[in-house]
Amino acid sequence: MHKPMNKYIELILLIVFSFSVGYSQPVNDECESAIILENVDDWCSADGQFNNINATESLLGAPDCWDASTHDVWFRFTATATAVNIFVSGAGNEGNLKKPMVALYVDNGCYGTFYQKKCKLDFNNSNSVELTDAALIVGESYLIRVDGQSGNMGTFKICIKNFNPPVEPGQDCATAALLCDKSPFVVKYVSGAGADPDETTNTCISEEKQTTWFKWVAKNNGTLTFTLTPIQITDDLDFVVFELPNGYDDCSGKQSLRCNATFGGNYAPCGPKTGLDLLSTDLEENYNCDAGEDGFVKYIDMQQGHAYALVVNNWSASGNGFSIEFGGTGEFEGPEPDFVFDPPTGLRCEDSIQITDVTDYKLGSIVERKWTFGRDASPQLRQGDGPYKVFYDSYGWKSVTLTVKSDKGCVSTKVKDIWMEPCCEDLPVNERLKIMVDSVVNPICAGDANGIITVSGIRGDPYYRFSIQDTNFNYNPIFNNLSQGIYKVYIVDKKGCRDSIYVDIVDPEKLIADAGPDQTLDLGDHTFMNGDYFPKNYNVSQQWFPPYNMVDSTDFDTEVFPYNTTTYTLRVTQDSTGCVAEDQMTISVKTNRLVRIPNVFTPNGDGMNDMFTAYNLKAATGIDEMRIYDRWGELIYDAKDIPLGDPSKGWDGTFKGKKVLPGVYVYLFMIRFLDDKVIPYAGDITVLR
């Protein structure tokens, strides 16, 4: 019965160690295997979903602000907005990673120079860290790197919010940020109660500690809901929604519509989130999260043209901000940025395109326009009315972003995508883009997935990206973790020119172990196991498992004395590579427990047949107990731990020093065998004189 397996001894040891602590190496241990995060507008993992336990150090070196990098793991996302907030927590129920660190990079395909954008670490021992960057290019890919300070390992939760930020909010109603639309966003930090710390008087908020104010004008009649989530989950957020009867620029006479000061935080019954929802019926919740309260109050019905204000108060005064996400059927009044492409389609890279602003805003004027034209654009950034002629030096989808600011101070953003066709001309063969194979590393052991293909490109436009699936191209020309097979490797340059080549990954000759055929024997017998291996040109060492009851467990041919049916594994290890092959054979042991017990004896002192005992035929090792009873059931002899077949041991036919009468007596033997089992044997013995 053959069950061959191939793997590294080192890998076996690593797996054994990893399972001993409950975790294997994370799948995103290396940059090349970064976990792709989708739908990053407002996304959080589950508590403790990710970890850096047993992750290995990247060869990149530590980011600027980290103390070191020993157990880093990687994530990847594509920006759909211009700002991002990344939150990593090992605090409370969210994980156990102590003092996490996070860094943000431009995605270079994990090859060549890494461009670090931001890095942060946990300065205040909260076991959480938060990073915000407001200079992303929509459509670009970015890398997130997570580790723990001082070599810490553990589980963690990660949240990412990709958003277009509004204007900076004020600390008073008069300086509130005017919201143009219901896009979600993040407020990174909060501090103080502003110049007027008594604006929540006569509401459920008794004291302003760290306040943030927003205003908006309803574009239509409709409902409004929102959810506030603290960046630091233990923070207690309170809020009041006001109506501003005198317009958005006049806070006098403001009227409280909803108020919530319920005790929050991750460890409170109401949880860390708060806001307005469609299910609640209460208009106000005070302290302590009383019965029936959940941290949310009833939605509001906005009236078209009416102005409203929201104040968010961080009662915990931690200085940490929050995120907000809006819902409901009502919308906010504001400019609706828009622009057109000329021509709208049919463009090739190296063509120029005119981009013209067509923003509509009937309630005021646009005082500022900021443009981002995307990857490989020239120009890439502009401020002004336009129109702009833009030249793209590469093919593919391009994301153009326009952010406008109105005379009333609100900010709104629009993103549009346009496809640039490849501009690869029909060049002579000796001038075309060509892919070259630099090296091939075949798997060390047959069946392993550790082959490596390294390629490069010549000619074309040296902005090369590579793939072995004709999808998910990146800048890394090294393909790892490959098993035996024929791979088609692709290259594409920035103009869209392409080439491909087939590369073989070939296994070495497979190491095979042969433990020999299965065998059957009686308990107490012995046999020989005759192992072997192929191919014979390999230098190997060998070991039998389990190594019990055998002469030499490191010899292919060894004698074995099994007491039970046993499956033996022959493990053969190639000396030069550590490759391992295994095979199994089973020795079935028949438990024929044979002993010889006489049925008559003559204790007359003639030296022949004077003692009664049991005799071993093969597998018995001793008599645990021997009893003799007379015909009335009286115990007349009892002995323990006596050897089998010893003529000097056993019953001599006496009771209390006197010879018993001839006749039939009953015996009971408790006999122990090689497999340590004790079996009773009972019967009649006849005494003759």
> How much is the pLDDT for 460?
87
> How much is the pLDDT for 632?
92
> How much is the pLDDT for 441?
96
How many Å apart are CA 510 and CA 577, to the nearest integer? 12
> How much is the pLDDT for 612?
95
Residue that the structure tokens 């070939």 belong to: 506
pTM over 0.85: no
Res. 268 pLDDT band, cuts 50 70 90: low
Closest CA to 9 of 585, 572, 583, 534: 572
In 154-273 the beta strands, taken as DSSP E runs, fall at 155-163, 177-178, 185-189, 211-217, 222-230, 237-244, 255-260
**Helix count (H) and strand count (E) of the chain?**
1, 54
Own/partner pairs, 244-250, CB within 8 angstroms, 24+ separation? 244/215, 244/306, 244/307, 244/308, 244/309, 245/307, 247/307, 248/178, 248/215, 248/216, 248/217, 248/307, 248/408, 249/408
- Assess whether pLDDT exceeds 50 at residue 495: yes
57-103 confidence digits (pLDDT tens): 988 889 999 989 999 999 999 998 889 999 999 988 899 999 999 99
In 315-433 the beta strands, taken as DSSP E runs, fall at 320-327, 339-342, 352-357, 366-372, 377-378, 381-383, 388-392, 396-406, 411-420
Instruction: Enumerate domains of the chain plus CATH numbers.
Output: 7-163 (2.60.120.380), 173-327 (2.60.120.380), 339-420 (2.60.40.10), 429-505 (2.60.40.1080), 512-590 (2.60.40.10), 595-687 (2.60.40)
Average pLDDT on 479-505 reads: 94
Residue 591 · residue 664 · CB < 8 Å: no
> How much is the pLDDT for 407?
85
In 468-609 the beta strands, taken as DSSP E runs, fall at 478-482, 485-492, 498-505, 512-514, 519-522, 527-530, 532-534, 540-545, 557-560, 566-574, 579-590, 595-596, 600-601
Residue 197 · residue 208 · CB < 8 Å: yes
Let me know the angle formed at the C-alpha of 673 by 668 and 678, rounded to the nearest 5 degrees: 45
Closest CA to 406 of 561, 269, 613, 249: 249
How many Å apart are CA 215 and CA 397, to the nearest integer? 36
219's CB contacts (< 8 A; 6+ apart) are 304, 330, 331, 332, 333, 334
Res. 266 pLDDT band, cuts 50 70 90: low
Res. 222 pLDDT band, cuts 50 70 90: very high
Q: Give 683's DSSP letter.
A: E
Percent of all residues in the chain with a pLDDT value above 90, rounded to a whole number? 68
> How much is the pLDDT for 602?
94
How many Å apart are CA 689 and CA 589, to the nearest integer? 43
425-447 confidence digits (pLDDT tens): 767 778 889 999 999 999 999 99
Residue 685 · residue 599 · CB < 8 Å: yes
Residue 277 · residue 271 · CB < 8 Å: no
How many Å apart are CA 524 and CA 618, to the nearest integer? 6
Let me know the angle formed at the C-alpha of 609 by 607 and 613, rounded to the nearest 5 degrees: 125
Q: Which amino acid is at 542?
A: Q
Lowest mean pLDDT, pick from 191-200, 463-472, 479-488, 563-572: 463-472
